[in-house]
């Protein structure tokens, strides 16, 4: 299992590109999120052909804004097999489907929609309303020889860490969204993550790294060259 980030910025931090990652997992290459900068990054870095599966955390544009481009590219440019879009709930599948329908008319022509539970080793954490009121969001947990946690956008991390504390012990690396502004309630203020540092590796993403305060002990993905694609 290996994770490489395609970007680590927040929605407006375009210098750092939209937060998204490629995860090599159980022989597949999963794209986690496909915001509006991701299509371009995948093409420029020549990673597009590797993507076989897609997992979306929520439907904000910095997490799904270039998904239709990707699907069209796979079909028209690569003439590749349809990628698999893994979905964590029927309701979210319907939302994603409607979103794509406006853009590509017949989403089934461009992607296979498969329930996430059919893919072994991925746990879903429903974080509805914990990033933005009334918005469906998810965090994902990938388990193999160790555990990778991908928070998605999350302003209230308590439920995610509560869930983690009840899972069987396994070396765990948490990639968590982070904000350095205590007034930003859509994302997790770094000081709220400090109680959860024990026993896990943690890295912050979805931020402008230049705003990182000197007293923040959480390493940022952006500065970890081995975590960047």
Binding residues for Zn ion, rule: CB under 5 A, are 11, 60, 62, 153
In angstroms, what is the minimal distance from the CB of 154 to Zn ion? 9
Residue 63 Cβ vs Zn ion, minimum distance, rounded to whole Å: 6
Q: Which is nearer to Zn ion, 93 or 131 (CB)?
A: 131
Cα separation, 138 vs 167, whole angstroms: 17
For Zn ion, which is the closer residue by CB, 19 or 84? 19
Query: Least distance in Å: CB of 62 to Zn ion?
Result: 4
Please name which of 49, 39, 53, 50 lies closest in space to residue 7, comparing C-alpha atoms: 39
Nearer to Zn ion, 119 or 128 (CB): 128
Token reading at 39: 């299509």
The alpha helices in 105-155, defined as continuous H runs, are none
Comparison of 60 and 147: residue with beta carbon closer to Zn ion: 60
Q: Three-state SS for 64? A: helix
Q: Which is nearer to Zn ion, 52 or 184 (CB)?
A: 184
Q: Dig out the tokens for 97 from the structure.
A: 């489907």
What is d(CA 122, CA 43) in angstroms, rounded to the nearest whole number? Answer: 27
Nearest-approach distance from CB 181 to Zn ion, in angstroms: 14
Of the pair 53, 60, the CB lying nearest Zn ion is at: 60
From the CB of 163, what's the least distance to Zn ion, in Å?
Answer: 20
Continuous H helices in 45-106? 61-64, 67-72, 90-104
Least CB distance from residue 207 to Zn ion, whole Å?
10
Torsion angle of alpha carbons 148, 154, 155, 159, nearest 10°?
-60
Which of these, 35, 45, 31, lies nearest to 14 by C-alpha position? 35
Q: Where are the alpha helices (DSSP H) in 107-157?
A: none
């Amino acid at each position: 299992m290996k994770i490489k980030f395609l970007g680590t910025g927040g929605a407006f931090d375009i210098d750092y590109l939209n937060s998204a990652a490629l995860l090599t997992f159980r022989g597949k290459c999963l794209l986690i999120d496909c915001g509006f900068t991701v299509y371009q990054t995948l093409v420029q870095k020549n990673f597009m052909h590797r993507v076989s599966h897609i997992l979306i955390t929520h439907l904000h544009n910095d997490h799904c804004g270039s998904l239709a481009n990707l699907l069209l590219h796979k079909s028209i440019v690569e003439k590749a097999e349809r990628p698999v879009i893994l979905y964590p709930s029927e309701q979210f599948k319907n939302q994603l489907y409607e979103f794509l329908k406006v853009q590509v008319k017949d989403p089934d022509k461009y992607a296979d929609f498969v329930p996430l539970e059919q893919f072994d080793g991925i746990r879903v954490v429903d974080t509805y309303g914990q990033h933005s009121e009334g918005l469906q969001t998810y965090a994902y947990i990938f388990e193999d020889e160790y555990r990778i946690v991908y928070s998605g956008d999350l302003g209230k991390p308590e439920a995610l860490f509560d869930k983690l504390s009840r899972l069987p012990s396994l070396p765990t690396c948490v990639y968590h969204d982070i904000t350095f502004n205590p007034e930003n309630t859509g994302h997790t203020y770094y000081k709220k993550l400090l109680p959860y540092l024990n026993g896990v590796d943690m890295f912050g993403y979805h931020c402008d790294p230049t705003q990182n305060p000197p007293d923040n002990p959480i390493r940022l993905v952006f500065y970890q060259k081995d975590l960047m694609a």
